[in-house]
Amino acid sequence: MSDGTKPASDELPSSDELRDRSRTALQSQQQPTVTVLSSLIAVQDALHYIPDEAIEETATHMKSTINDVWSVASFYTNFRFTPPGDHTIDVCWGPSCHLNGAQNVMRRVHTELGVEEEGETADGKLTLRYSTCLGACALAPVIAVDHHMKGRMSPDSAAAVVDELKGA
């Protein structure tokens, strides 16, 4: 399970380092079938986003083109192209969560984070994402912090989760 630890947002690695880390991620894929998509997933698992350098390295690794790699990377909504915050909060807006009050949870999380839509907080430390379904529908409404599920949320309990992250 990913522990969600990420480099602090103010220490961005150099371009050479991003290239190196992308290459390492590309080369350490274990499964028999390696594709552009599997490569992008491997890079994002390692770096938490897809820098331009990784697009180029993936194209080289897969004997593909930058255009073709971009066409895949821009299609799947899990890929992101800027570094995320230190922690990521997913809030589900799928219908099971919706009918159990997800909109109120979402609005409260917006307020606590001081944001009006998906993305990073002003200090860049926390990332908010909207999720179409986190898969724990029976415990709706559900949020996740760094991929760890938290169910049966209320606006107040979601606010408490966000507060804890802000203090962390």
Q: What letter does residue 48 receive in the DSSP assignment?
A: S
138-157: b (≥16 Cβ within 10 Å) or e: eebbbbbbbeeebbebebeb
Whole-number minimum distance, CB 121 to other proteins, in Å?
Answer: 16
The vertex-114 CA angle with 154 and 162, nearest 5°, equals 40
Quick one: which segment of 5-13, 15-23, 92-100, 160-168 binds other proteins (CB under 8 A)? Answer: 92-100
Nearer to other proteins, 17 or 168 (CB): 168
Choice from 4, 19, 41, 80 touching other proteins (CB under 8 A)? 41
- CB 49, CB 82: distance < 8 Å: yes
Chain contacts with other proteins (rule: CB under 8 A): 1-2, 31-33, 35-41, 62, 71-72, 74-79, 92-100, 103, 106-107, 110, 118, 130, 132-140, 142, 147-152
